[in-house]
Amino acid sequence: MSDQVLLAVEAISKSYPGVKANEDVSFAIAEGEVHALLGENGAGKSTLVKMIYGLVKPDSGQMRFRGRPFAPVAPREARQAGVAMVFQHFSLFEALNVAENVALGMENPPVMRELAARIRAVSEEYGLPLDPARRVGDLSAGERQRVEIIRCLLQEPKLLIMDEPTSVLTPQEVEILFRTLRQLSSEGTAILYISHKLEEIRALCDAATILRRGKVVATCVPRQTTARAMAELMVGATLTPPERRATAKGEVVLGVTDLSLASPIPFGTALKNVSFTVARGEVLGIAGVAGNGQDELLLALSGELRSAPDKVRVNGHAAGDYGPLERRGAGLVAAPEDRYGHAAAPDMSLVENAFLTGALRRGLTRRGFIDWRATRAFAEEVIASYDVRTPGSHVAARALSGGNLQKFLIGRELDQAPEVIVINQPTWGVDAAAAAAIRQAILNRAAEGAGVVVISQDLDELLEIADRFAVLNGGRLSKPRPVEGLTIDEIGLMMGGAHGMEVAHHAEA
Amino acid sequence: MLRLERRPTPSRFWQYGTPVVAVVLTMIAGGLLFALLGKDPFAVIRTIFWDPLFGEFAWYLRGQLLVKAGPLILIAIGLALGFRAGIWNIGAEGQYVMGAVIGASVGLAAYPTESRLIYPAMVLAGAFGGWIWAMIPAILKTRFNTNEILVSLMLVYVAETILAKAATGFLRNPEGAGFPGSRSFSSYKAASNPELIAGSGLHWGGVAALVTAGLVYVLLQRHILGFQIKLAGQAPRAARFHGVNPTRLVVFCMGISGALAGLAGLFEVSGPAGQISIDFNSGYGFTAIIVAFLGRLNPLGIVLAGLLMALTYVGGEMAATNIGLPSAAIQVFQGMLLFFLLGVDVLSNYRIRFLLFVKEAR
């Protein structure tokens, strides 16, 4: 790491109708520095890096790259200058292999054989095991990320931007990634690292710029700052960790027995002999790397996928062949991961979306006719009690930010007096304060006697709220174990360790 | 340069504004077309849009408006339900024909009995004819995942063949000296669908269209089934999560649209058309697709759109006879309406930015 400034951002502002995404933002990254951009959802991190990558044009302010004015109008120009970016959501074609996917992202791809050799060389050099001939549809999330990273590294960037890179990784895979990033940094590549996982930033980054509501509120050296202090800077308030009351466990309210189901999703994972029980007052945490059957498990529990009646028992009902409406009737509510299009209809208003699942348990219909007044009252109750920031209940769901919509959708399910709650990724993409509120609300329902299943890729979250813990790996569920006494390392091994390491050994051999 | 920018929420103004813009654009482009054909565009546009309402023969033509609008509205409302749910019944023309043939068969079978029960039986048979014809693509879709667009469209040509067979064969008037065509319903009182108020053009089909518009409006606004239809069209996965059964929804929407098209056919054959003939169908089933979209898939909008489309029919015929405009030009003109509507529809979800302008603003 040298002190030479690589990229200087000077007083940049960007407004969208109704919001100031960035206001007067300045910071600098030195050559070879690992710089964290820290902030809650909606703090303006994404807008800022999109401007650096040429996807969005700033309204005012300027940038300098190695001292020269830098104003990319397209990602192509940013890439030419030496800026590369790994997005949170991968843009890969599942039906193509690794090398073909890499070629698609390049300006002048070399012939396949040569490209495959270069991919192999880069992947070995940086300890990112990857076989160029494998089809992307068969790769784990961590391996897919390596495809994106290698695609960037082939351009030999001066600045690598990484947007929330660890959300899809096992702890072991995070370690591999960090080793790679440190190596890149020691070779002089600067890294702009976007995250809200504070321990990671403390382990990896040299400097941090903290954004709140579009403005820079602080800069700090993460190694010398506590995670708690950074979190409070980020949120602008004191944080209270969720409160757990020890609750006596009641009878079993959800029982799944030897459930095997084919996946309806292309490249999905079939469920294989899944069995577990959840008692009243208990939270079962289900971990696993994305794509190991989480979506399928949620569908099988919500009633969108049906099975033999006795495979799923809800609150005493043999509910395997129940549809979603009947399962709600039996007392089960569910919250899928994908908010825009699955848990909510994006173009419909919040009122209509409140009706989407609340119709039955909240008694919002009379002989098939919708009581819109009661539905609006329900929507507004959820908005008020879960602090959903919206101009009103008439707004289309797609107009809300991910975190705000999630608060609404979780609130919608929790406010239906449920007996069984199933949630996939409760706080994915949600800011720290909102995530804490959501976790607390889940725990409150458990304390009131609901049985809860939380499927999540955030291990810290599961360890914080779950009583028992199991892992989905390749569609199989491990035997649930009490959370007390589990270590992160043990969990990582339950999750399948580092995916694709066998390829690394193969490549080295 | 122009650039489209997605609106956070659809513009309410443009949702209702686009049909108006589309009509204006159609008039302009149509006027150019008529001018190229060597006709005075202003005279043609006036003949189509003004004369039927306020011209010399308006006393007669106004009635014709309701005659034409009735079946268009009835069919379009059924189609709109399906379109809202993402179920594309393109074969309403065939369902219309089958409703007419089966409904007429029931009436003709009872000839010459006079009974109050005959007409209601025909109405039921007409609805059944359209319903059963729509069930073919519906069941093929739910069982074998076939494409309802293709199947329903191809069944139109099957229905037309059956119609020709009916007119020349099994429904031919035995006292008609061998000419194709069935007995006339206007001279068979128990089975006829007369004008209810002299000169208004309103017959039972028009009444059915208005009543259906009201009922479907309530269904879509207030009933859970209407909610499920909209949900399935906008977010199919959310609809399954809510608990919509896709199979049942396809069967329901196809069934309703088929039955309404069949009803339209029955009212037409027993009323304005008067008999089953080879060229009985006049494209209402296809034009109704335009009407459905022009009316924003909203029952009340469809009533207005149906009246407007009827105007182009009536006015178009006037222009053909008085000015000598080819009837194909009228069909192009009607087609343009849908074309422009779909084109300007983008405004309700996107706003247009002039890029030059944005750059200067920086």
ipTM for this model:
0.84
User: Mean pLDDT over all residues of chain B?
Assistant: 89
Query: Which amino acid is it at B55?
Result: G
Query: Which amino acid is it at B296?
Result: R
Q: State how far the Cα of B116 lies from the Cα of A407, in Å rounded to an integer.
A: 61
Residue linked to tokens 């989407």 = A356
* Structure confidence at residue A162 (pLDDT): 92
* Structure confidence at residue A352 (pLDDT): 96
For β-strands A283-287 and A451-455, DSSP reports them as parallel
Measured CA distances, A355 to A114, A339, A409, A462, B34 (Å): 56, 15, 11, 30, 51
Measured CA distances, B203 to A70, A285, B72, B210 (Å): 73, 66, 14, 11
List Cβ<8 Å contacts ≥24 apart for A311-320.
Answer: A311/A256, A311/A257, A311/A258, A311/A259, A312/A254, A312/A255, A312/A256, A312/A257, A312/A259, A313/A252, A313/A254, A313/A255, A313/A256, A313/A257, A314/A253, A314/A254, A314/A419, A314/A420, A315/A253, A315/A254, A315/A419, A315/A420
Q: State how far the Cα of B212 lies from the Cα of B278, in Å rounded to an integer.
A: 29
Per CATH, the number for A252-494 is 3.40.50.300
The helix/strand/coil state of B142 is helix
pLDDT at residue A264 above 80?
Answer: yes
Which residues in chain B touch residue A57, judged by CB atoms under 8 angstroms apart? Answer: 362
The helix/strand/coil state of B157 is helix
The helix/strand/coil state of B140 is helix
Choose among A136, A203, A196: nearest CA to A430: A196
* Structure confidence at residue B35 (pLDDT): 92
A366 or A90, which is more confident?
A366
Choose among B137, B131, B135: nearest CA to B98: B131
Q: Out of A304, A326, A359, name the one closest to residue B240 (CB).
A: A304
Domains in chain B (CATH in brackets) are 38-325 (1.10.3470)
Q: State how far the Cα of A56 lies from the Cα of A38, in Å rounded to an integer.
A: 20
CATH of A5-235, one of 1.10.10.10, 3.40.50.720, 3.40.50.970, 3.40.50.300: 3.40.50.300
CA closest to A394 among chain B residues: B9
* Structure confidence at residue A141 (pLDDT): 76
Answer left, alpha or beta for residue A164, where phi above 0 means left and psi between -120 and 50 means alpha: left
3-state percent breakdown (helix, strand, coil) of chain B, nearest 5:
75, 5, 25
List Cβ<8 Å contacts ≥24 apart for B172-180.
Answer: B173/B275, B180/B277, B180/B278
Query: Which amino acid is it at B69?
Result: A
The helix/strand/coil state of A65 is strand
pLDDT digits (tens, 9 = 90+) for B69-108: 999 999 999 999 999 999 999 999 999 999 999 999 999 9
* Structure confidence at residue A1 (pLDDT): 45
pLDDT digits (tens, 9 = 90+) for A150-164: 988 888 899 999 988
* Structure confidence at residue B1 (pLDDT): 67
* Structure confidence at residue A306 (pLDDT): 94
Choose among A218, A170, A167, A169: nearest CA to A195: A167
Q: What is the pLDDT averaged over residues A300-315? A: 94
pLDDT digits (tens, 9 = 90+) for B330-362: 889 988 988 898 888 877 778 777 655 444 333
Q: State how far the Cα of A368 lies from the Cα of A60, in Å rounded to an integer.
A: 54
pLDDT at residue A507 above 50?
Answer: no
* Structure confidence at residue A497 (pLDDT): 58
CB contact under 8 A, B9 and A396: yes
Res. A240 pLDDT band, cuts 50 70 90? low
Percent of chain B with pLDDT over 70: 96
Res. A489 pLDDT band, cuts 50 70 90? confident
Instruction: Identify the residue among A301, A347, A366 best suited for mutation to test binding to B, counting B beta carbons within 10 A and taking the highest.
Output: A347
* Structure confidence at residue A232 (pLDDT): 80
Which residues in chain B touch residue A326, judged by CB atoms under 8 angstroms apart? Answer: 243
pLDDT at residue A505 above 70?
Answer: no
Choose among A32, A425, A402, A49: nearest CA to A191: A32
User: Mean pLDDT over all residues of chain A?
Assistant: 87
Q: What is the pLDDT averaged over residues A378-389? A: 93
Q: Can you spell out the DSSP letters for B224-283?
A: HHHHHHHHHHH-HHHHHHHT--HHHHHHHHHHHHHHHHHHHHHHHHHTTS-S--TT---S
Structural domain boundaries of chain A?
5-235, 252-494
CB contact under 8 A, B223 and A370: yes
Q: What is the pLDDT averaged over residues A329-340? A: 93
For B10, phi then psi, to 5°, come to: -60, 145
Q: State how far the Cα of B268 lies from the Cα of B99, in Å rounded to an integer.
A: 10
Choose among A294, A362, A353, A352: nearest CA to A328: A362
Percent of chain A with pLDDT over 90: 49
**What count of CB pairs under 8 Å joins A to B?**
76
Q: What is the pLDDT averaged over residues A26-32? A: 93
Residue linked to tokens 């990634």 = A177
pLDDT digits (tens, 9 = 90+) for A34-87: 999 988 767 788 889 999 999 889 999 999 999 899 999 988 889 889 999 988
Res. A404 pLDDT band, cuts 50 70 90? confident
Choose among B187, B179, B206, B188: nearest CA to B278: B179
pLDDT digits (tens, 9 = 90+) for B26-76: 999 999 999 999 889 999 999 999 888 888 888 888 888 999 999 999 999
Q: Which chain A residues touch B if contact means CB-CB below 8 Å?
A: 17, 57, 59-60, 302-304, 323-326, 328, 334, 336, 338, 341-348, 352, 355-357, 359, 365, 368-370, 372, 395-396, 398-399
Which residues in chain A touch residue B7, judged by CB atoms under 8 angstroms apart? Answer: none
Minimal C-alpha gap between A252 and chain B (Å):
25
Q: Which residues contact A111 (CB under 8 A, 6 or more apart)?
A: none
Q: State how far the Cα of A37 lies from the Cα of A216, in Å rounded to an integer.
A: 10
Least confident of A244-248, A321-325, A454-458: A244-248
Choose among B330, B277, B273: nearest CA to B70: B273
Query: Which amino acid is it at A219?
Result: T
Residue A265 has what DSSP assignment? S
Choose among A33, A258, A254: nearest CA to A160: A33
The helix/strand/coil state of A26 is strand
* Structure confidence at residue B174 (pLDDT): 86
pLDDT digits (tens, 9 = 90+) for B228-278: 999 999 999 999 999 999 999 999 999 999 999 999 999 999 988 889 998
Q: Can you spell out the DSSP letters for B284-332?
A: HHHHHHHHHHHTTT-HHHHHHHHHHHHHHHHHHHHHHHHT---HHHHHH
pLDDT at residue B176 above 90?
Answer: no
Token readout for B212 is 């259906």
* Structure confidence at residue A242 (pLDDT): 64
Res. A457 pLDDT band, cuts 50 70 90? confident
CB contact under 8 A, A325 and B243: yes
pLDDT at residue A2 above 60?
Answer: no
Q: Hey, do A5-235 and A252-494 end up sharing a CATH topology, with the first three levels equal?
A: yes
* Structure confidence at residue A503 (pLDDT): 41
For β-strands A481-482 and A468-473, DSSP reports them as antiparallel
Q: What is the pLDDT averaged over residues A490-498? A: 70
CB A419 within 8 Å of CB A393 = no
